[in-house]
Structure 1
Amino acid sequence: MTESQIYSSIASELNLSAKQVSSVADFLDDGATVPFLARYRQEATGGLDEEQIRNVRDKLEFHRTLEDRKKTILKTIDEQDKLTDELKEQIKSCSDLNTLEDLYLPYKPKRRTRGDMAREKGLEPLAELIWAQEIEKGDPMEHATQFVDEEQEVESAEDAMNGALDIVAEWINESVEVREKLREIFQEHSVLKTEKNPAVEKRTNFEDYYDFSQKTKYLKPYQVLAINRGERENVLFVNVELWDEVTLENIDDIVITNDMSIFVPHLQDAVEDAYKRLLFPSLERELRNHLTEEADAHAIETFATNLSSLLMQPPLDHKVVMGIDPAYRSGCKVAVVDETGKYLEGTTTYPTPPQNKVAEAEEIYEKLIDKYGVNLIAIGNGTASRETEQIVANFIQKRKEKHPDEELNYLIVNEAGASVYSASKVAAEEFPDLEAAQRGNISIARRVQDPLAELVKIDPKSIGVGLYQHDVNQNQLAQSLDDVVESCVNQVGVNLNTASAPLLSHISGLSRRVAKNIVKRRETEGIFSSREQIKEIKGVGAFRFQQSAGFMRIPESENPLDNTAIHPESYEATETLCNLFNIDLSKLQQQHEAIAEKLSNIDKKQVAKQVGIGVPTLELIIENLQKPGRDPRESLPKPVLREDIMKMEDLSTGQVLEGTVRNVVDFGAFIDIGVKQDGLLHISNMADRKVDDPHDIVSVGDIVKVQIVSLDLERGRIGLALK
């Protein structure tokens, strides 16, 4: 396929125009980023959003890989002098990898087979005779007798027949038609069965699969991933089963073209041999790989959706936060950060078992709160979290008696990845004088103030909002999570004068090296006062500036547009628009309501023409003039802040509580309702109708009202329903 044919094919697949696909391809090939195209090149892409552009990108990669594979296959077959015009056309017109590999199979270099050995003994003419099925009278073995040759170790007619059938079996295995039919049967009728490895004696997490059977087409993604892990850990034996008798009949119908042929019984033997020895093992592997790929894709999508929700949690501004990283024996690490996230002081307390120094810990909390004006305590949700929560809740209640008007609350923070961050190079550069153990609690405190800015410092895989993230395709997972981080960072925008290098490195078009250069320039020469100054940074040329400028925010700039999502390339058009409607750019913040009124009922097409831009760019300008410096996270509900804690024993069925969604998985969502154990909101209790995907109802970080529908105090399980 030519590039234009690829564009047409992708356009058809994604229901877009070939022009849109071609435009996106050209931009991407030139190095443009997805966020830049989605926001600043809508006229050129026909208004495509980030998801659509990424779909085009992924399809382009697939088709180009397919075309490269075709070239390799054509070259290999041609070098064997076996490339016919018909085969060449079949390969060139092929649109999926499975069929392409089926076409290549007969010519693929492979180890010496039983068929090869039979050919070396001169038995291919007999195989061709059997395969032709033209002889309808006589004894098949008489034909085989002609190939007896003791020098070639063909000592009998039976030897000759068996050798010829080995060749025929390979032809059956290499038949595109047979493999496609068998592939259909596998997909429709195969059953996956698992059983426990008898050698495993201890209890495992795979008990649901000790005696399990399910049609493969009905398997859930999480079941596939669990079974794969159980098999990998040698806990489970896994088999795929088919109804062999019916399957063999289906292959017979393709292979046997003349029921009157004297070789029919031998062909049936060859079909059975090809099926059991060659076809079944090959297509079983292919089926298992396909199931795994689909399960991987689903798990990655779930992880990406949860990560996006977590990164886009609203920041809690203007809070002095005390972060506590709970533990038992090694003690609870404590850190205080000011409203900007600057580290002030830290220590270690030992209120949890085995030391139980609660009074001593409370004294330390008291001093830090009084010294720095702490108004929020953030507790990591790891080991000893609930014990620490109980201690902090009791402390807050006692303090309220002395300071009834004081604003002091706590909340539980997902601490996943805090230990990864604390041992990282980034953390060491930020806090060179602190031990690794003291850095995690700073991360916990800062996550409350700005989840996005803090979590981008951590490998996304270490942020616990998925299932089986270490089992899935790691390259695809990394690509998907990088896409999420890139999208979230650029959607929010980054304050150039406060952002860390890890956060800056996710801005469209910037590299880690350039991000570090920006921070270095800020430290040596002071804050930036204009987007134009970015051009002075080493490594920032015209293209990098074009890609990145619109996503940078400079609140201190004299030009108010530098603190909006309006791109510098549109500043002139923005000024023309403001002149048309008598808008004073220097007073954007004070007159956004008046601006909204002036621009509410305009003829956008006509105004865009007057200003010399497209309608999408005009709409972006208007949105940012009305809400300069807007953070899209502001409209989301803030996290639930608590003063007290409940015990499981305080709960009762029918009780309605407010909770925070901690994780969303295929079968439901885990909700923090302020007791020791998260409750499970099962998918069946999410709505009055059948819910196919829990993400349609809830997202990580959502604040929800739930009713307790079941309690199991002994096992620590809480069943919830959405109110």
Structure 2
Amino acid sequence: MVQDLNQAVENEANGSKVQLSEEQKAQIQERILKQIAAELKLPAGKVKTTMGLLDEGNTIPFIARYRKEMTGELDENELRDIEERLQYLRNLEDRKLEVVRLIDEQGKLTDELRASIEQAAKLQEIEDLYRPYRQKRKTRASVAKERGLEPLAEWIGKQHRQGSLQDEAARYIDLEKDVKTAEEAIQGAMDIIAETIADDAKIRAWVRKFTHDQGLLRTEAKDKAQESVYEMYYAYQEPVRKLPPHRILAINRGEREEMLKVGMDVPVERVHEYIARQWIKGPSVVKDVLLAVIEDAYKRLIAPSIEREVRGELTEKGEEQAIKIFAENLRNLLLQPPVKGRVVLGVDPAFRTGCKLAVVDDTGKMLEIAVTYPTPPNNKVAEAKAKIKQLISKYEVQLIVIGNGTASRETEQFIAELIAEVKERKLEYLIVNEAGASVYSASKLAQTEFPDLDVAERSAISIARRLQDPLAELVKIEPKAIGVGQYQHDVSQKRLDENLKAVVESAVNHVGVDLNTASPSLLSYVSGVNGTLAKNIVKYREENGKFGSRKELQKVPRLGAKTYEQCVGFLRISGGGHPLDNTPIHPESYEVVDRLFKEQRLELAQLGSQQLRELLQELEPAELAPQLGVGVPTMRDILDSLKRPGRDPREEVQAPIFRTDVLQLEDLAPGMELDGTVRNVIDFGAFVDIGIKNDGLVHISQLSNSFVKHPMDVVSVGDIVKVWVLGVDEKKGRVSLTMKKPQ
């Protein structure tokens, strides 16, 4: 590859991007393939096939579902890992070529340097190697070079055993170049050497690792008298290598809010000793000068930049974990079971402006909007009860859903009293997380959907609908506005958006989408479909009526053959012309189903019947697959889809807890047993809704009797769990819970 780089640089003209031959590209591709396979511990053949499928424009959900034979059944997570590493390593190769070109243009590229760049495994290593050749702003070393002191620096670097540094330096006194004394000449030469040491890639790599392994992160308060949430960090220190991700982000936030001062302590003497071993050859007339240069180079040039780099690596570690936590919580929230077949009253609670009400039917259609004022300062309780009872009776409301924002618990108390008074029908209520509802309500999408309503009224509709179909409603909201993470506002928003978009895409395609009812927001997350195409699909539906078949999708403007291939399997048509259009079976496999039914003497009209389900249960995918000319994984998926056409995988998840009465903080006592819903999972535990104002915390140490590496190994957002009260802090409104059954 060294020769390949050399040739690529020689072929380079006018400083434009390096051009590679097909052979060079193939060699780079092969090296990337081997590296990804080794890193992810996956067979090279599976990785190679996945890389090819990605390069052809296939999406991850499509590959995971419909190309299982080709990838050896790699799951979505494995596929995304390959995609992420592929992008990084390709960027790495591009940067290698660019750095080689830039150094070569300066006439300073050696075979040894070229080989070092080629062997670099990280972008940081390449940047370290490029550092000495990078154009710098004015520095003490560059000023010294302008004054002609580079030869003196070289003389010092030779470390003569005899001679006089003062005499040698006197030769460089030059008033025109502003070198007035020998001491000034020596200082300039020392500055040049200090910068050379600081730019040495090997030294930087060693100091960076040493700082990470042996460094101590230290924090202190800027003002100890000021109360804040950062008080535990007012006089705090911890080894850099042991800092957990959530603590890194907490310290960063405290520093950013100017509550904390953060520094790093490193055993300086050991750093000096290491650099001296690299630079000092033995006794010489300049040994003491070089020792002073080493101290200056580390203190002034190396330590500040390495500390920034190590802090940057720590932040990246914290961000990766925060994004991972958010992504996993979001996926579990999106895949909460829909509550179907109920007329719902959505309540957006408030104090001064009143509680906005929205009645929606069992399909999510808005029936009526109203506003009541049962909470302070208005306290129009009787009037509010009369209005809500009238709505309940008029529309046969079965479920009341309350947003968890301002005045939610006061509204809950009011609703619980009202339910007790309604004897003629069974009524229940539920408090839902309304995070992001206001974001949606003020969006252009909401304005288009409900142009005649105000923001709060739209919010009440959103609150009701997110119980009926959480996925369909939550996709209308920017993912990061859904509050199920930790420190999501402190991480790289670009990376967060990319990861959360992938999560929503995965959830949407896992569930499938009804082509005749889906909103543009929902459709835009379907494999291969972008925002423009989603709008085109809805426009076509509005102009031509419901889709009668999946094939009709091909008539949608700008929806080409590749997009059709990617998206069609994830789109469902209920009651259409072809029974298989309401299953996850891809149209490319319809012929396989036809042959299967013909051989087994079955009819498509039997689809969904118990009789067909029992007959299919007896068939063996491994025996059928070779007979029908498909792979076993595809055959298995086809049989599963035929057994349960129109199945919603979310229905297998536990339904939410509905309540009829309120639990107060004062009602709690240690040892009390409760059922709760996990609302958020973070690094140090899980927050559980037990029906009081604030969610209770189950610390990681209280999740199980056995060791728990991470809370997500035990619980997920939406889980219904049994908990026991450990303690109650009425002053702070906090409850600590345990999932360990008391003895």
Band the TM-score falls in, shorter-chain normalisation: over 0.9
Counterpart secondary structure, 2:488: coil
1:695 maps to a residue whose letter is M
Match of 2:371 among 343, 348, 357: 348
Looking at structure 1, the residues matched to 614 and 715 of structure 2 have their Cα atoms a distance apart, in angstroms, of 33
Aligned residue for 1:547?
566
Looking at structure 1, the residues matched to 321 and 436 of structure 2 have their Cα atoms a distance apart, in angstroms, of 23
Looking at structure 2, the residues matched to 594 and 647 of structure 1 have their Cα atoms a distance apart, in angstroms, of 52
Match of 2:458 among 439, 445, 448: 439
Contact 2:419 2:660 survives alignment (8 Å): yes
Looking at structure 1, the residues matched to 303 and 188 of structure 2 have their Cα atoms a distance apart, in angstroms, of 21
Contact 1:38 1:53 survives alignment (8 Å): yes
Q: What pairs with 1:567-646 in structure 2 (closer than 5 Å)?
A: 567-591=586-610, 594-600=612-618, 602=620, 604-646=621-663
Looking at structure 2, the residues matched to 498 and 448 of structure 1 have their Cα atoms a distance apart, in angstroms, of 17
CA RMSD of aligned residues (A): 1.5
Match of 1:57 among 67, 72, 83: 83
Aligned residue for 1:169?
194
Aligned residue for 1:449?
468
Shift of 1:201: 6.1
Match of 1:487 among 493, 497, 506: 506
Looking at structure 1, the residues matched to 226 and 378 of structure 2 have their Cα atoms a distance apart, in angstroms, of 33
Q: Is residue 224 of structure 1 aligned with residue 243 of structure 2?
A: no
Looking at structure 2, the residues matched to 29 and 690 of structure 1 have their Cα atoms a distance apart, in angstroms, of 43
Looking at structure 2, the residues matched to 564 and 595 of structure 1 have their Cα atoms a distance apart, in angstroms, of 14
Q: Which moved more, 1:102-111 or 1:524-533?
A: 524-533
Looking at structure 1, the residues matched to 388 and 138 of structure 2 have their Cα atoms a distance apart, in angstroms, of 75
Q: Deviations over 1:2-27 (max 9, x none)?
A: 11211111111111233322322222
Looking at structure 1, the residues matched to 707 and 170 of structure 2 have their Cα atoms a distance apart, in angstroms, of 68
Shift of 1:91: 1.0
Q: Is residue 311 of structure 1 aligned with residue 328 of structure 2?
A: no
Aligned residue for 1:650?
667
- Structure 1 residues 675, 112: closer, same or farther in 2, change over 3 A? closer
Contact 2:686 2:698 survives alignment (8 Å): yes
2:628 maps to a residue whose letter is V
Counterpart secondary structure, 2:652: coil
Q: Deviations over 1:525-582 (max 9, x none)?
A: 2222211111111121111110011001111113211111000000001111222223
1:477 maps to a residue whose letter is L
Counterpart secondary structure, 1:470: helix
Counterpart secondary structure, 2:675: strand
1:186 maps to a residue whose letter is T
Q: Deviations over 1:104-155 (max 9, x none)?
A: 011000112211222222222221222233x223443333334333443333
2:42 maps to a residue whose letter is L
Q: What pairs with 1:275-286 in structure 2 (closer than 5 Å)?
A: 275-286=298-309
Q: Is residue 661 of structure 1 aligned with residue 678 of structure 2?
A: yes
Match of 1:209 among 218, 221, 233: 233
Contact 2:616 2:643 survives alignment (8 Å): no
Aligned residue for 1:125?
151
Counterpart secondary structure, 2:359: strand
1:518 maps to a residue whose letter is I
2:352 maps to a residue whose letter is R
Q: What pairs with 1:91-130 in structure 2 (closer than 5 Å)?
A: 91-130=117-156
Q: Percent identity?
A: 50
Looking at structure 2, the residues matched to 575 and 601 of structure 1 have their Cα atoms a distance apart, in angstroms, of 15
Looking at structure 2, the residues matched to 493 and 615 of structure 1 have their Cα atoms a distance apart, in angstroms, of 22
Contact 2:164 2:285 survives alignment (8 Å): yes
Contact 2:616 2:639 survives alignment (8 Å): no
Counterpart secondary structure, 2:490: coil
Match of 1:235 among 237, 256, 259: 259
Q: Is residue 462 of structure 1 aligned with residue 451 of structure 2?
A: no
TM-score, structure 1 normalization: 0.96
Contact 2:322 2:487 survives alignment (8 Å): yes
Looking at structure 2, the residues matched to 86 and 501 of structure 1 have their Cα atoms a distance apart, in angstroms, of 56
Match of 2:388 among 355, 365, 368: 365
Q: Is residue 334 of structure 1 aligned with residue 334 of structure 2?
A: no
Q: Deviations over 1:285-328 (max 9, x none)?
A: 10111111110111010000110010000001101000000000
2:597 maps to a residue whose letter is C
Q: What pairs with 1:361-510 in structure 2 (closer than 5 Å)?
A: 361-399=384-422, 402-403=423-424, 406-510=425-529
Q: Which moved more, 1:200-209 or 1:30-39?
A: 200-209
Looking at structure 2, the residues matched to 528 and 600 of structure 1 have their Cα atoms a distance apart, in angstroms, of 34
Aligned residue for 1:520?
539
Aligned residue for 1:5?
31
Contact 1:564 1:629 survives alignment (8 Å): yes
Shift of 1:37: 0.5
Aligned residue for 2:49?
23
Q: Is residue 43 of structure 1 aligned with residue 69 of structure 2?
A: yes
Match of 1:183 among 196, 208, 214: 208
1:167 maps to a residue whose letter is I
Shift of 1:663: 1.0
Match of 2:718 among 683, 697, 701: 701
Shift of 1:626: 1.3
Contact 1:581 1:598 survives alignment (8 Å): no
Contact 2:346 2:463 survives alignment (8 Å): yes
For structure 1, the 5+ residue unaligned runs are: none
Looking at structure 1, the residues matched to 737 and 474 of structure 2 have their Cα atoms a distance apart, in angstroms, of 29
Looking at structure 2, the residues matched to 201 and 436 of structure 1 have their Cα atoms a distance apart, in angstroms, of 42
Looking at structure 2, the residues matched to 423 and 38 of structure 1 have their Cα atoms a distance apart, in angstroms, of 36
Aligned residue for 2:268?
244
Looking at structure 2, the residues matched to 716 and 154 of structure 1 have their Cα atoms a distance apart, in angstroms, of 70
Q: Is residue 72 of structure 1 aligned with residue 95 of structure 2?
A: no
Counterpart secondary structure, 1:193: strand
Aligned residue for 2:530?
511
Q: Is residue 299 of structure 1 aligned with residue 291 of structure 2?
A: no
Q: Which moved more, 1:239-248 or 1:489-498?
A: 239-248
